[in-house]
Structure 1
Amino acid sequence: MTATSLVIGSSHKDNRTLLDKIQGTAAFSHIWKEKDVNRAISSVRTRPVDMIFYDVIDPARETYAWIHQLYADQKGCDVPVFLFARAGAEDEKIRGLEAGACDFLSFDTSAKELAARIRTHLEKKQQLTLLRQAKEDLEKQATTDGLTGLFNRRFFQRALEAEVARSSRLNQAFSLLLADIDHFKQINDLFGHLAGDAALKAIAGAIESSIRLSDTACRFGGEEFALIMPGTCGESAFHVAERLRRKIARLRIPELQEHPLTVSIGIRPVPAGDITDTTQVLAEADEALYTAKRHGRNRTEVHERLSPEGTDWSGTLSLPATQQA
């Protein structure tokens, strides 16, 4: 196994001897040195290392605050730290170990012993890294739709609850959009499920490329997508939905052989100060979506209770013909 190490300390004779021993273990493909501990720890964020060796010049005055700083950062939380000193009382070694160091050795530790300790801690670091990656993968699988890469319905539910709570607490507006692929069963029947999958992925890509960082896009289920847009309400939400609808209608997917691909969209704007809950928001967005379906599909509808009297919210009628899909 090869790795990268960071040696922090002065250039005195013992430190040079330590460096020779580290290089002699054949465990490290790259070794770099830094005298200033604070600069060294800051650089770990952009220059990852597998192990750190620290020359403790004055154990009695050492606070080891930098170890806490290192382990508080995700980039350094798994990095083993070796502390070395020319001499030191047992209680000083204990302080270093309690601060988080993996080992506290003297400069006269043999190269053979040092190599054995290095191998042991590198293997532990590898195991920790694999476990952490496995945990992150599981968390991603639990919240992500495997086909489209968007968040899944489980994540959507939590995100909507959080947005309703935030909106109520801060008196800020948001909107919920539900988009459903028109005649999706017909696509599967005519071209097969792989073509249906291609359509889902293409629409997910169109949604992802059209939203802000603050928005949350999810595959709600089947051929339905959901979009939570903080700070967007009323006419603004309607125009966002219309841009997305027209963008999807312009998609050309080889697997569909020029077959039209359109979506119907329902919007439930939540104005600032509108006291509601997630069930109501979702139900009313769903009502708007099915109104769009009943009125001919490939259109956007806003929940009627929130449409100003006399306003035509119909996505296919309220825009000039040159803007239609």
Structure 2
Amino acid sequence: MSDLRGLSIRQLRALSATARLGSITAAAKALHVTPPAISIQLKLLSKQAGGEVLERSAGGFEPTALGAEILEAANEMDGLLDRLSDRINALHAGAVGLLRLGVVSTGKYFAPRIVAGFQRAHPGIVVKLVIGNRGEILAGLRQRNFDLCIMGRPPEDVPLVREELGDHPHVLIAPPDHQLAGRRDIAHAELQQETFLAREEGSGTRMLMSRFLDRVGGERPVQLVDMGTNETIKQAVMAGLGIAIISAHTCAAELAEGKLVALDARGTPIVRQWYIIHRADHELSVAAQHFQSFAAAHKNTHFPEGFGGMNRSE
């Protein structure tokens, strides 16, 4: 009975070279080993196969029926190994691979555009795009679930490498028929009677709005209503339930269509930065390095139009 579980590539190489060249000496020369080394590999192979794999003929060594079967399998394995080598080289070159990208929810308005452009340039790299709220993306970053993350306010408690990706403007939105629509340089005092609609506690947009409202309210508390998503906030503002500080990227379409207006209040727009980050203690794959380079080379070209040239506030 044959037992080929211990079969080695060296044995197959020895068989293939000897059958092709007709002699052990020629096979040894081709494989850069000694003739005794070839003989040992052939004996081990015959023992594992349960019979002779070569036989002598007038022209030299030829494969037996058993040896011919093994040679056919060896040729198939050579093809598999060649393809494996190609894939490994492609991995090292960054031509193929898997990239795990975490993006905070506001980034869903532009991140798919970055990913689509990247995959057109690097079709062999699969990007696993995960979009979640700030807490979810931070948890994934801490647990090393992501190779790269895109967010507006990187955490301070994780060692990071960060690179600016582009401006992230926030605007004060209102319905088109709001009493302050069209006014210039609206004073904070004029906003104190307004109802502000806000994202959940812990979101980057909520933190930004809270700092803005601290200046608006002064000693007086400002009426604040929590809402779970940017989409809910936009719909509520359009319905006249209040006004909101929100990422300009989330409402670019509604502003362009006239469904919402950006109020010209003092201190707005508030322009922050988008960052692409990764853990400082995490070695980036070549695929991740390619994505980072692609994103950096296309800074400020992925975002919704209409918000260029904004002055940085605060």
What is the TM-score when the length of structure 1 is the normalising length?
0.26
Q: Which has the higher contact order (CA 8 A, sep 6+)?
A: 2
What is the TM-score when the length of structure 2 is the normalising length?
0.27
More helix by share: 1
